[in-house]
Structure formats: C-alpha cells, structure tokens
Amino acid sequence: MAMISSWNGNANAAMSGCHAVVLCGGAGRRMGARKEGLEFNGEPLLLRLCRSLSDIAERVTVVAERKREYEFLPGDVRVTADEVAEFGPIAGICAGMAASELPLQLVVACDYPLAGPNVWRALSETLARHPEADAVLPEAGGKLHPLCALYRGHTRSVWQDALNSGNRRVLEATATMRFVKWVPEGKDAEQLMNMNTPEDYRLAKERLRS
C-alpha cells in the first residue's frame, strides 16, 4: 500500500506522488449555469481550484462530461472527458484517475468553491497517520464528502467496478473501501460548503470575502 509523507507545515507544500482530479461534469441545472465558470474574485471557479491544486499536486487533470476547451487554464493542466457520458461523478473519477499512475488521487468537485490548502493538508496528514486506509473522507454538516477527498491510486479498481456494473452511487462505492474520516472544525468546516444553487453561490462569495 502506498505511503505519503506528512506536510512540513507550509500550507502550499507539495504532496509527493499526488494527482489532483477536478470534476466539472455537472450541467448546473439547479444553479442555472455551469459551476466551473462562475466568477470568484475576478476569475472562473475552475481556474481558482486548479491554481490551488497545482501548488500541491504533481499533476492536475480536469474532467468534464465531454471534451471541452478551457482557454483560461494553465498549459500544464490537462482536460479529459468522462468515460461514460451522463453517468455522473463515478465516470469522471474513473477518467481522471486513468490519466495518472501517481499513488495518491485527490478528487475535488466544482461543488466545493471554498476548499483550499488547509483541506488538502488535513487530508494528507490524516492519510499519513493511517497507512492501512484506502482513503480519507471529510465529514461535515452531518454527511460524508467523497467528492472532496483523498484516495490511494489502487481504489481506481473500485470505481471502475462500480462504473462497469452501472452503479452510480458514490457512497456505495466508498463503502467497500477502508476509509477514515477527517472531521474539520470552525473555518475548515466552512470550506466544505457544497454549492448547488444561486443562493449557495451568493453565500460562498460572501464567505470568501469575510
């Protein structure tokens, strides 16, 4: 089982052997617009997330429901498409993990606009303390957050099995893994705000300013 080293105290320190997978396959029907293009501090949310992840991950891959061009992204960020169209996050995770053989896979959906280095660091440190674990899932707001979580690379087979069997339920797939929880407190818990509606977007921008 792959091991990771803990962080050195710098919030932007690199995570050795880490590949970041950014999921932006949703059509944003409840939002009324695609989430990855929403503006935060004068830039698209997708660019904000990729820049934060590029500071700590060796490679970053963006996954959309079909191959898209995001001209605002840095050249070293790759863009790929879901393995199965309109299947949901599991298809995106499979496509993203297939893009890199690195031993750690940090999966982040565009539903989490406030997540950043403090979250990535906490996930890394938690997994480092649990070499027996396949993944670290945050638990906040009374629920698990498998789409803002750190997985070992070998869990790709679990996601692929779910895709092959037609199982769209993300939590059912993670239930077959040996995962540990990270339970954030205070401001860290706020970073796990899940954004789905225009009101969520307004609140996220308000929290970012505060």
Tokens 């080293």 found at = 5
- 24 annotated to bind ligand: yes
Residue 112, phi then psi, degrees to nearest 5: -115, 75
Q: What is the pLDDT of residue 66?
A: 77
- 23 annotated to bind ligand: yes
Q: Measuring CA to CA, which residue among 45, 6, 1 is closest to residue 123?
A: 6
Q: Which CATH superfamily is domain 18-209 in?
A: Spore Coat Polysaccharide Biosynthesis Protein SpsA; Chain A (3.90.550.10)
- 188 annotated to bind ligand: no
- 82 annotated to bind ligand: yes
Residue 102, phi then psi, degrees to nearest 5: -60, 150
Percent helix / strand / coil, the chain, rounded to 5: 35, 20, 45
Distance, CA of 103 to CA of 59 (rounded, Å): 12
Mean pLDDT, the chain, whole residue set:
89
- 192 annotated to bind ligand: no
| Residue-range domain boundaries for the chain | 18-209
Q: Quick check: helix, strand or coil at residue 108? A: strand
The angle formed by the CA atoms of residues 108, 188 and 206, to the nearest 5 degrees, is 85
- Give the tens place of pLDDT for each residue, 79-119: 999 888 889 999 999 999 999 999 999 999 999 999 999 99
pTM of the model: 0.90
